[in-house]
Chains A and B, each alone.
Chain A
């Protein structure tokens, strides 16, 4: 699951709805002790308010944060090298080897917050909404391989079976069937074409550990424990999601302890300042979630030569970018040289053969010389057949890190006689130009997906389909073959070598100069114990978060 990341757009990782997780990156818990949990209130400051609390239509990460805590899915999810699916609403399931069906057995004690039992009818209703074109669910494709008629089969009140037209990646099948379930009895009366604006969202009937207490638009969403929840009930009294659009204001509020958590620090300097000014804030890393790269437009004659692209990568000092922009004062690195678009967090797919090209100016110069790019007129810029090696490196405005990185890249390339002119454009415009391939080179980024589907990014255009996210117009028959083979291989062990080889093929071709993976750092007040902050979500499993009663800040 990848998405373009011109950072002004609200495009954080939007996962399908799961709840609960584990295996995050967590420093040693401060304090410790065997204190009893106290009924505290936690306040999280977020950039944007939620838009929808309905799992079938939501589209932003800020919606997902709430949905995972308010609505249960058939299976839960956790992440450790790969996505895993412990039981959720279903107490057990059968997923036969042939990959053609999954049968879920629902727990019989699960009820909605209004007391109505949760049954297979709710599951069927949820998938009926997803499959209905009138709803226009962003997840409609989850149902396209389901039988009959893109919907699950209800076997009895507590058993539901999903049948598939063909086997595909087992993890993906689990996720497609693991959508947060919505209450049929509370939602069916609304017009399907405008589910987002309904009254349901003002007082939703929920199945998860938290229910909506109040929602002041643009201000704050308050969640309180759902007493009807069948699993572990929260010990916190309230969690408040406060909308503070301006990053600097969020930092000030965290520093002043008027909020307990902010989701990401933008620079390493901000992290250092927070550690110094408010030692009560713990830093948590979420894992390698974001990757920045320079895409070379392969339609441009300058970049059609693989040797030339490799030379450009050799000339770009990626370690320096990481040292300058992504390393804290204590020397902690929040960046890592990238060799692929698949996050290193998915360790099954990491290829041992794949080592980053070194930073080697001499070799870069030799390679450019060998390909006929020499500075024949002595103006400091290499040329070939009278054409100078000069291009515009495009990026989006409003991203300081990319702006600084592009300056380093420009200086690096200048050292080998290649002139990059820097230009930045507004994010929507940037994205549009990438899609239309209306650029020469671009500094852009992707956020990590936890499923591997390289089709949209790397498959070459076919007569009946244009892959618009293949921004560089990359085309390699071997890569196409690997993609098609990989997508038809449901088994993790069998698919791993295919994806490893694909990454090697693409790295050798260098349609991108992969720059770095970037970790996101969350700041959270130290009194909070057992937060599960990981690559899945910042707010997963809020019912497990607790505050020792001796440290409760707001007693009710």
Chain B
């Protein structure tokens, strides 16, 4: 097992470096560079040259590439953001917690709602409940996040005024709140973005859960359990659920990188300063060091997520052994 994990991690090294390389090539191929902002009729051309020099953009692409790779590989130094002129690790450290908090809420919504709905559907398969839930979850699954997020905001923030519309906290009141009220304020601000992200994903999870549970319910040991008189509730929750959750756990493992990368759309609409917004801004400004660090980080997460899914697989399912 340990051997297997080590081998997988070792294989990840060239993969992550390849991701960073690909990113570099793509940004190089795109028109312009990070100094474009300084390219306006009233900014003299020498400013652009000075900025390019300051940010190292005056060197040929291959030189910049090898320098970047050398720093990453030898000293894990991702350098400074060109646009913000700050170490990229500092920027990511500021932003990542915001995304992680939101992702945890999302994951909670996805897991609880998804598993619950999927189970109900499997138990009531082909019945009215199943069909209605299928239709509703397909509706939400195919809804653009953008639309869903705005509708949530319109209904719950503007019309009903139950929840705050955007931001991570109330910008007006926050500094006057007691510590407890602050926590409550932050939680309230998590609800709408968490729902917007969670609803669509839980619709997908519900589909997985439903089919997985249906498959398990058809197995011999379930029939045996029923034959020996175990209650239906116990059959579903003790015997069937355990095995039916295996693919869902894989799904969770695979969604690890998604959790950390954030959502550009939902973060933008709810004014949530997370990784999604950071990356989209970095892409627009062609901030290579910041992008390289983000993508490196995500590549690592993809590898870890996959590995985690595999390991969890082995943990929850004793039939599976890696060698």
Residues of A within 8 A of B (CB): 1-4, 8-11, 41, 43, 51, 59-60, 133-134, 136-138, 140-141, 193-197, 214, 216-220, 222, 240, 242-246, 248-249, 252-253, 255-256, 258, 428-429, 431-432, 449, 453, 456-457, 469, 554, 556
Contacts and interface: CB of A to CB of B under 8 A. Distances in A.
A428 B47 contact: no
B47 A243 contact: no
Interface string B167-182: 1110111011000000
Interface in B36-74: 36-38, 40-44, 46-47, 50-51, 53-54
A243 B41 contact: no
B94 A217 contact: yes
B49 to A, nearest CB: 9
Given A222-B175, A243-B273, A429-B30, 14 more contacts: A3-B40, A11-B40, A51-B84, A141-B44, A141-B46, A217-B94, A242-B271, A243-B271, A245-B271, A249-B269, A252-B153, A252-B157, A252-B158, A428-B30
A169 to B, nearest CB: 13
Contact of B269 (A141, A196, A248): A248
A431 B30 CA distance: 12
Given A246-B268, A249-B166, A196 B85 contact: yes
A453 B42 contact: yes
Interface of B: 30-32, 36-38, 40-44, 46-47, 50-51, 53-54, 80-81, 83-86, 94-95, 150, 153-154, 157-158, 161, 164-169, 171-173, 175-176, 268-271, 273, 277, 284
B84 A253 contact: no
Nearest to A425: B31
Contact of A197 (B80, B171, B268): B80
B270 A249 contact: yes
Contact of A240 (B83, B85, B172): B172
Contacts of A219: 167-169, 171, 271, 273
A220 B171 contact: yes
Contacts of B86: 194, 196-197
Contacts of B171: 43, 219-220, 222, 240, 242
Contacts of B158: 252, 255-256
Most B CB contacts (10 A, CB to CB) among A11, A214, A243 go to A243
B84 to A, nearest CB: 6
Nearest to A144: B44
Contact of A256 (B83, B150, B161): B161
Given A8-B284, A246-B271, A457 B41 contact: yes
B50 A140 contact: yes
A249 B38 CA distance: 29
A134 B273 CA distance: 31
B1 to A, nearest CB: 42
Contacts of A242: 167, 171, 271
Nearest to A241: B171
B41 A456 contact: yes
A4 B40 contact: yes
A432 B172 contact: no
A232 B51 CA distance: 38
A3 B85 contact: no
A416 B141 CA distance: 48
B289 to A, nearest CB: 13
Contacts of B94: 217
Contacts of A243: 271, 273
Contacts of B161: 256
26 contacts: A1-B41, A3-B41, A4-B40, A59-B38, A137-B47, A140-B47, A141-B43, A196-B86, A197-B81, A216-B168, A216-B273, A217-B273, A220-B171, A222-B171, A222-B175, A245-B277, A246-B271, A249-B166, A249-B268, A249-B270, A256-B157, A428-B30, A428-B36, A429-B31, A432-B32, A469-B41
Nearest to B42: A1
A134 B172 CA distance: 40
A136 B169 CA distance: 37
B172 A556 contact: no
Contacts of B268: 245-246, 249
Contacts of A196: 84-86
Contact of A59 (B37, B46, B50): B37
A219 B94 CA distance: 12
A2 to B, nearest CB: 5
Nearest to A222: B171
B235 to A, nearest CB: 47
B88 to A, nearest CB: 11
B47 A136 contact: yes
A197 B85 contact: yes
A3 B43 CA distance: 9
Going nearest first, the 8 A-B pairs with the smallest beta carbon separation are: A218-B273, A432-B31, A197-B86, A136-B50, A456-B41, A197-B85, A196-B85, A3-B40
A431 B32 contact: yes
A43 B158 CA distance: 17
Nearest to A430: B31
A255 B154 CA distance: 10
A428 B271 contact: no
Most A CB contacts (10 A, CB to CB) among B84, B171, B273 go to B171
A137 B48 CA distance: 10
A428 B42 contact: no
Nearest to A238: B172
A369 B4 CA distance: 79
A515 B130 CA distance: 57
A248 B147 CA distance: 11
A3 B84 contact: no
A246 B154 CA distance: 14
B176 A556 contact: yes
A213 B270 CA distance: 24
A449 B277 contact: no
A60 B51 CA distance: 15
B266 to A, nearest CB: 10
Contacts of A2: 40-42
Contacts of A556: 176
A141 B47 contact: yes
Contact of B166 (A216, A244, A432): A244
Contacts of A197: 80-81, 84-86
Contacts of A255: 158
A293 B160 CA distance: 44
B309 to A, nearest CB: 32
A428 B268 CA distance: 20
A413 B154 CA distance: 41
Nearest to B90: A197
Most A CB contacts (10 A, CB to CB) among B37, B42, B154, B284 go to B42
Nearest to B168: A219
Contacts of B46: 140-141
A258 B165 contact: yes
Contacts of A4: 40-41
A323 B268 CA distance: 32
B287 to A, nearest CB: 12
A32 B171 CA distance: 29
